[in-house]
Amino acid sequence: MHGTKRIVLGGRHTWQSTVCTTTSTYPCPRVGTRPVSSTPSFPVNLHFIPPRDILVNAYIGTPPQKFRLLLDTGSSDLWVRSETLVPWEPGTKFHPLRSSTWQQSRAHWATTYVDKAVIEGIEGVEKVRIGDFEVDARVGVAESITTVDEHGRKKKRGKVEGIKAGTRGLPPIDGLLGVALGSSFVDGLRGAGARGIKITFRVGEEGKNDLCILRDTDGEEGVLWYDVETDEREPSWEIVLKKILVGKTFSRVNWGQRVARA
Amino acid sequence: MVVDTGSASHYLPSVTTELLFHQEPLSQKYLQVHFVPDQYTAVETTEAGYQLTDPDIPDPPVRLVFRGPEVEWPLSLDSPTGDEYASLRSSAAGQPAVLGTPFLSQRKGVIFDFTPGKERIGFIGNDRILSLEEKIGNRPRQRFVQFIVGASLGLGIGIGWKWYEGSLF
């Protein structure tokens, strides 16, 4: 899936919210979670930076190389920066030829974001490890990041911009982990026996934010479940909004999940 | 509505957001509402930003009910970026409605269940939401108990009055 999406990479936002930075324990010691081992082989170390950025560690290639990625349920592409990306910016980069398990699948790969930022490069199938799971997933290697400013001028970037991560001493990201329902990574997790991704938030409370990958979701407690109703040709994490209440009045939603074209 | 951790704002169809912000109580709180097609240009339609001129908004001003468990999930309109715009905006034509991370992070957690054929999203509510749901769920039982207690009380008072009058037995 390479459609446009919501995340703004080259925006002008200046994030002003207070920062909550906590790390996770993994796997989450909760009902329904059946960890393979008490100590994960490849710790997720979830790092939440309000209002949006959920950062996780994934280990890509052979030997595994650690990347900090922005977890995104609204897109399908998993991509990391290439060593050839210019202008140079610090951080972890990926070099396909140094991985013994890299299998290139496309000589040209691209994805476009809602602010018209374009990420381009090559794509291959690679080992991706997270927690105790190892999956084969499609990985884009970004050789070019192009953003468009308010005057329509294009500019080459060496990193993801427009997000809070990477600013004011906060940890930067090395790429994106798209976990939309139809994504290659989710398919890989299914194949490895996983059944769900659980994110626990503890903003403003004691404790740590968590991400754990579940092998069983039925045993989870205190959860209100909503069935996903989506287009099978382009599956995404869609639920149906039934009504909106404002004060004492309510508006019933009749427009379905998609917005009618003007 | 796509649950999207890549979005810092929430998006609804323009028609819906216009209705919401043009009706009370939000119309009293949100003035000079205008729409922008993207983050740089202001026009009448498509992507919308709502200029908040009176920060004293009801709490929570908006609640969402999804198809499934009948729970009212509060949606904060606070700006995710600390600017003058509300978190709730209008989707561009052809784009899906979006529920962003600020909604999810107000819950205790969220589960994306990709079990084949049983895909679902689970919200782990805070205690207030869950107790509310419990109340709604137990409403018939509560009403039955209230009826029994009320009827017993009425019967007791009636019998007592009769006994006092000496007309009982």
Q: Which of A54, A150, A196 is the closest to B114 by Cβ?
A: A196
- Confidence tier at B23 by pLDDT (50, 70, 90): confident
What 3 state SS string does B27-63 have? HHHCCCCEECCCCCCCECCCCEECECCCCCCCCCCEE
Higher pLDDT, A193 or B129: A193
Strand partners, A129: A59, A134
Please choose, from the candidates A183, A72, A244, A241, the residue with its C-alpha nearest in 3D space to the C-alpha of residue B1.
Answer: A241
CA A42 – CA A36 distance, rounded (Å): 12
CA B91 – CA B97 distance, rounded (Å): 6
Q: What is the pLDDT along chain A (262 residues), one digit of tens a residue?
A: 334 444 444 332 222 222 233 333 344 544 334 444 445 689 999 999 988 999 999 999 999 999 999 999 999 999 999 999 999 989 999 999 999 999 999 999 999 887 778 999 999 999 999 999 999 999 999 999 998 877 788 899 988 877 888 888 888 899 999 999 999 999 999 999 999 999 998 765 555 788 999 999 999 989 999 999 998 888 999 999 998 888 766 666 554 434 333 2
Distance from CA of B150 to the nearest CA of A (A): 30
DSSP-assigned letter for residue B80: T
Please judge whether B102 and A50 are an interchain contact, meaning their C-beta atoms are less than 8 angstroms apart: yes
pLDDT value, residue B45? 44
pTM: 0.79
pLDDT value, residue A80? 97
Q: What DSSP element (H or E) covers B136?
A: helix B127-137
CA A127 – CA A135 distance, rounded (Å): 6
CA B4 – CA B167 distance, rounded (Å): 73
A149 and B40 in contact (C-beta within 8 Å)?
A: no
CA A1 – CA A105 distance, rounded (Å): 15
Beta-carbon contacts below 8 Å between A and B: 251
CA B65 – CA B67 distance, rounded (Å): 7
Please judge whether A223 and B63 are an interchain contact, meaning their C-beta atoms are less than 8 angstroms apart: no
Q: Which of A196, A238, A245 is the closest to B96 by Cβ?
A: A238
Strand order in the sheet with B2-4: B2-4, B98-100, B10-12, B88-90
Mutate to test the interface with A, among B111, B123, B133, B134 (most CBs of A within 10 A): B111
ipTM: 0.84
